[in-house]
C-alpha cells in the first residue's frame, strides 16, 4: 500500500520541483530545445499534481489552501520566466 504524504510535505516537494525546473541548465541549442521544454513542463506539472487535491480535503486549513494557490502561481510564473 502506498504511503500517504502529508500536505505540508507535498507543498515542500512541489516547491523543490519548481526550483529544480528553474535550475535546469539551458542546453547549447537554446531554450527552444524540445527535450528541455519537456523536462521543465514535467517538473512544473508534477508540482501542480502534488498539491492539486489539498484544498478539497476536509482537513485543509485556510493557510494550506493559500499555500496551494501560491504553488500554482509560482509554477505559472516559472513557466513564463523559463520558457517565454
Domain boundaries, the chain: 7-24+31-83
pLDDT digits (tens, 9 = 90+) for 42-84: 999 999 999 999 999 998 999 999 999 999 999 999 999 999 8
CA distances from 74 to 37, 59, 70 (A): 17, 23, 6
What pLDDT was estimated at residue 46?
98
Q: What is the pLDDT of residue 16?
A: 98
Grid cell at residue 40: 521543465
Residue 27 has pLDDT above 90, yes or no: yes
Amino acid at each position: 500500500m502506498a504511503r500517504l504524504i502529508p500536505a505540508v510535505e507535498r507543498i515542500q516537494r512541489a516547491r523543490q520541483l519548481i526550483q529544480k525546473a528553474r535550475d535546469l541548465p539551458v542546453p547549447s541549442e537554446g531554450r527552444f530545445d524540445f527535450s528541455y521544454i519537456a523536462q521543465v513542463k514535467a517538473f512544473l506539472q508534477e508540482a501542480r499534481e502534488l498539491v492539486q487535491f489539498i484544498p478539497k480535503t476536509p482537513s485543509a486549513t485556510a493557510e494550506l489552501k493559500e499555500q496551494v494557490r501560491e504553488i500554482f502561481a509560482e509554477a505559472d510564473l516559472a513557466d513564463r520566466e523559463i520558457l517565454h
